[in-house]
Chain A
Amino acid sequence: NAGVTQTPKFRVLKTGQSMTLLCAQDMNHEYMYWYRQDPGMGLRLIHYSVGEGTTAKGEVPDGYNVSRLKKQNFLLGLESAAPSQTSVYFCASSYSLLTGELFFGEGSRLTVL
């Protein structure tokens, strides 16, 4: 049972380039999330999804887009990368929005030069 899988694990971009991070979960969870983790700031929610075909903005959505075309996949896109988006990105999923524990992927480290 793989749980939550993120690809790629590492990526270096130049300012202005675009890329997509893929998150896949095999637990049949309805809810999926994208967080970014920066030193001294904790994890911050970028976007989330409450089911296939739905997405919503979190705390820091600017500069990112997401899509949930299939229940098991949640994609995070950067259309024009900026150095401020250098971070570690985590995908998570849960079976319940209010009472369920979160299951995290191992993270994707992105550097924007």
Chain B
Amino acid sequence: KQEVTQIPAALSVPEGENLVLNCSFTDSAIYNLQWFRQDPGKGLTSLLLIQSSQREQTSGRLNASLDKSSGRSTLYIAASQPGDSATYLCAAYSMNTGFQKLVFGTGTRLLVSP
């Protein structure tokens, strides 16, 4: 059974700091891994999607990496801003638990203070 873990559950940093959010998954047989952002009371917004054949994806100040052999993905946020404050979730699209199975982590709540 695929399990996705995000540690820490919460993170607080000062504005301008570079930071890394971690995502671990137990089954390396995945089609892709996605990172989402969720603002309070809102839905999820897709940030980056990494296919299983890729090692990383970049969008602006965000860079996501994927290492299937170690079961890890990281989301790097450069020069953090207060507007980056949100909960960040990762989700692994698993092969072995049914082709429709997207397994979500419980998220890391990020607070960037001015």
Contacts and interface: CB of A to CB of B under 8 A. Distances in A.
B42 A107 contact: yes
A75 to B, nearest CB: 18
A90 interface: yes
Nearest to B51: A99
A39 B68 CA distance: 28
Given A42-B107, A58-B100, A98-B99, A103 B93 contact: no
B44 A104 contact: yes
B46 A103 contact: yes
B53 to A, nearest CB: 10
A103 B42 CA distance: 12
Interface of B: 4, 31-32, 34, 36, 41-46, 49, 51, 89, 91, 93, 99-107
Interface in A28-58: 40-45, 48, 56, 58
**Chain B interface, >50% SS class:** strand
A60 to B, nearest CB: 12
B31 A99 contact: yes
Contacts of B103: 42
Contacts of B102: 45, 102
A102 B44 CA distance: 9
B101 A59 contact: yes
Nearest to B103: A42
Q: Most B CB atoms within 10 A — which of A40, A56, A106? A: A106
Given A90-B44, A106-B43, 6 more contacts: A40-B106, A41-B106, A58-B100, A98-B31, A106-B42, A107-B41
A101 interface: yes
B44 A101 contact: no
